[in-house]
Amino acid sequence: MVHLSMGCGGALYKKDVVLTAAHCMSGSGNNTSITVTAGVNDLNSSAAIKVKSKKVKVAPGYNGNGKDWALIKLARPIDKPTLKIATTAQYNRGTFTIAGWGDTEEGANTGTTKLRKASVPFVADRVCKRHYGNRLVSKEELCAGWQSGGIDTCQGDSGGPMFRKDDAGKFIQVGIVSWGDGCARAGVPGVYTEVSHFASDIARAAAAL
């Protein structure tokens, strides 16, 4: 789990590549303006590892509707564990973990310096569409959240991973924090990029960075 200086989250896909959301980025190309903070829960900790970005690759065809993933090539590798991504849809169910340094309530616009995490259950597309209708790109997006609300990702959590354990008990990333209406509202799930749908595209893009 890493923090990005523009106020988004991300996860180490490789030691020198971060997987995050396209909507956090200004576009593809050489980019040395992002500071990636890793290795700590508290962003103010003196143990924080800070590395600059070198290059950004935004999902091909991204236009603000689906395809919300991007990769950041780092100036140097970060020697921390990487998070494997799901390559099949089999883990796109159950209970997921979300984490980030974003707002702890809707409209706060402050974020937090200490990493927080929570659990949210999978929400089927047909249930999610009761609120979002055709705004949900079913093939490319996953919904998760409590019907009663109260727990959710929020502004500042964008790009961070949604993950769970695979059958071998290892953590696997199934989603990227993408969008939603407000934060933690009842009957309004969070919407996440469905990582397994883009796994081969992500692998190809990372290899070419």
Question: Do residues 92 and 86 lie in contact, with contact meaning Cβ atoms separated by under 8 Å?
Answer: yes
Structure tokens at 167: 């059958």
As annotated, the residues of the chain forming the CATH 2.40.10.10 domain(s) are: 2-82+198-208, 84-196
Residues identified as active-site: 23, 68, 158
Give 5-54 pLDDT, tens digit per residue.
999 999 999 999 999 999 999 999 999 999 999 999 999 999 999 999 99
Q: Which CATH number fits domain 2-82+198-208: 3.40.30.10, 3.90.850.10, 2.40.10.10, 3.40.630.10?
A: 2.40.10.10
Give 93-150 pLDDT, tens digit per residue.
999 999 999 999 999 988 899 999 999 999 999 999 999 999 999 999 999 999 999 9
pTM above 0.95, yes or no: yes
Look at residue 27 in the predicted model and tell me its pLDDT: 96
CATH dotted code for 84-196 = 2.40.10.10
Give 166-176 pLDDT, tens digit per residue.
999 999 999 99
- Cβ neighbourhood burial of 121 (10 Å; 0-12, 13-18, 19+): middle
